Structure 1
Amino acid sequence: MFSEIGQLIFDNEAVAKTSDFTMGLEIEMQRVDETGHLSQEPYPAGAGDEKTNPWITNDFLETMSEVVTPPAAHALDAMHYLYSINTALRTALSPGELLWPLSMPPALPKDKSKIPLAKMGPKKEAYLKEWLKRHGFSEGTPSGAHINLSIDPHVFQLVYDQMSDQFDSELDLQNYLYAKIAQGFLRYRWVITYLFGASPIAEANYFEKGEGPNAPIRSIRQSSYGFGNKFRGDYTNIQRYVDRIEEGVKEGKLISDYEFHGAVRFKGNTNLRELPKTGIQYLELRMLDLDPSSSVGIRTNTLRFFRLMASYFIMTAPMKPEQVDAVVARADDINEEVSEEHPNDVSKYQANARAFLQRLEMYANKIQLGPEYLEEIDDLQDRIENPRTTPSARLITHLKDNSLTDYAMRRASHYQEAALQTIRPFKGFEGDRKISAEELKHELFKGSWEPDRDKTQE
Structure 2
Amino acid sequence: MFSEIGQLIFDNEAVAKTSDFTMGLEIEMQRVDENGNLSQEPYPAAAGDEQTNPWITNDFLETMSEVVTPPAAHALDAMHYLYSINTALRTALSPGELLWPLSMPPRLPKDKREIPLAKMGPKKEAYLKEWVKRHGFSAGTPCGAHLNLSIDPHVFNLVYDNMQDRFESKVDLSNYLYAKIAQGFLRYRWVITYLFGASPVAEANYFDKDKGPAAPIRSIRQSSHGFGNPFRGDYTTVQRYVNNIEKGVKEGKLISDYEFHGAVRFKGNTNLKELPKTGVNYLELRMLDLDPSSSVGIRTNTLRFFRLLASYFIMSPGLHPEDVSRVITRADAMNEEVSEEHPNDVSKYQASARAFLRSLEMYANKIQLGPEYQEEIEDLQDRVENPLTTPSAKLITHLKDGSLTEYAMRRAKRYQESALQSIRPFKGFENKTKLSADQLKHELFKGSWEPDKDKQQE
Q: TM-score, normalised by structure 1?
A: 0.99
| Cα deviation code 1:410-445 (max 9, x no counterpart) | 000000000000010111000211111001000101
In structure 2, the partner of 1:134 is 134
Residues in 2 aligned to 1:245 and 1:354: alpha-carbon distance in whole angstroms: 35
Q: Output the CA distance in 2 between the equivalents of 1:456 and 1:158.
A: 23
Q: Which stretch has the larger CA shift, 274-283 or 163-172?
A: 163-172
Kept after mapping to 2: 8 A contact 1:145/1:297: yes
SS in 2 for 1:242: helix
2:44 is matched with which residue?
44
Q: Shift of the alpha carbon at 1:448?
A: 4.3
Secondary structure of residue in 2 paired with 1:201 = coil
- Aligned partners of 2:385 and 2:328: how far apart in 1? 25
Q: Is residue 243 from structure 1 mapped to residue 220 from structure 2 by the alignment? A: no
Question: Partners in 2 of 1:160 and 1:257 — Cα distance?
Answer: 31
CA-to-aligned-CA distance 1:372-398 (integer Å, 9 cap, x gap): 100000000000000000000000000
Give the aligned partner of residue 363 of structure 2.
363
Specify the code of the residue in structure 1 equivalent to 2:133: K
Contact residue 100 and residue 408 of structure 1 kept, 8 A: yes
Distance 1:455 1:68 in 2: 21
1:206 corresponding residue in structure 2: 206
Question: How many Å separate the matches in 2 of 1:102 and 1:452?
Answer: 33
Q: Does 1:410 align with 2:410?
A: yes
Measured after TM superposition, the shift of residue 449 of structure 1 is 3.1
CA distance in 1, matches of 2:449, 2:111: 46
| Structure 1 segment 118-157 matched on structure 2, within 5 A | 118-157=118-157
Cα displacement (A) at 1:450: 2.9
Pairwise CA distance, 1:361? 0.2
Aligned to 1:333: 333
State the partner residue of 1:386: 386
Q: Percent identity over the alignment?
A: 85
- 1:195 and 1:452 mapped to 2: Cα distance? 32
Residue 348 of structure 1: aligned partner: 348
Alpha-carbon offset, residue 102 of structure 1:
0.1
Contact 2:38 2:63 (C-alpha < 8 Å) held by counterparts: yes
Matches within 5 A, 1:46-445: 46-445=46-445
1:165 is displaced (CA, Å) by: 0.2
What is residue 28 of structure 2 aligned with on the other side? Answer: 28
How many residue pairs get matched? 458
The letter for the 1-side match of 2:203 is: E
Distance 2:64 2:315 in 1: 38
Summarize deviations over 1:200-257 as a string: whole Å, max 9, x none: 0000000000100000000000000000110000000010000000000011000000
State how far apart, in whole Å, the 2-side matches of 1:430 and 1:124 are.
24
> Is residue 74–residue 452 contact of structure 1 (8 Å, CA) maintained in 2?
no
* Distance in 2 between residues matched to 1:401 and 1:119, nearest whole Å: 35
Q: Displacement, 1:170?
A: 1.3
Q: Secondary structure at the match of 1:432?
A: coil
Could you say what secondary structure the match of 1:318 adopts? coil
**Is the Cα contact below 8 Å between 1:265 and 1:284 reproduced in 2?**
yes
Shift of 1:337: 0.1
Which 5+ residue runs of structure 1 have no aligned equivalent?
A: none
Measured after TM superposition, the shift of residue 114 of structure 1 is: 1.6
Shift of 1:10: 0.2
Distance 1:260 1:189 in 2: 18
Q: Which amino acid aligns with 1:408?
A: A
Which deviations, in whole Å up to 9, do the C-alpha atoms of 1:92-122 show, x marking residues without a partner?
0000000000000000010010211000000
**CA deviation digits over 1:315-369, x for unaligned, max 9?**
0001000000000000000000000000000000000000000000000000001
Aligned equivalents of 2:159, 2:79: Cα separation in 1: 30
Distance 1:424 1:404 in 2: 32
SS at match of 1:27: strand
Q: Could you tell me the TM-score, scaled by structure 2's length?
A: 0.99
Name the SS for the 1:266 alignment partner: strand
Q: Deviations over 1:76-104 (max 9, x none)?
A: 00001000000000000000000000000
Report if the CA contact (8 A) 2:73-2:455 is conserved.
no
- Which deviations, in whole Å up to 9, do the C-alpha atoms of 1:98-147 show, x marking residues without a partner? 00000000000100102110000000000000000000000000000000
CA displacement 1:38-64 (0-9 Å, x = unmatched): 000000000000000000000000000
| Structure 1 residue 451, shift from structure 2 partner | 2.4
Cα RMSD over matched residues? 0.6
Deviations 1:263-296, CA, capped at 9 Å, x for gaps: 0000001100000000000000000000000000
Contact 2:74–2:455 (8 Å) recurs in 1: no
Q: Match of 1:164, SS?
A: coil
The answer to whether the Cα contact below 8 Å between 1:20 and 1:457 also exists between their aligned partners in 2 is no
Q: Distance in 2 between matches of 1:289 and 1:223?
A: 11
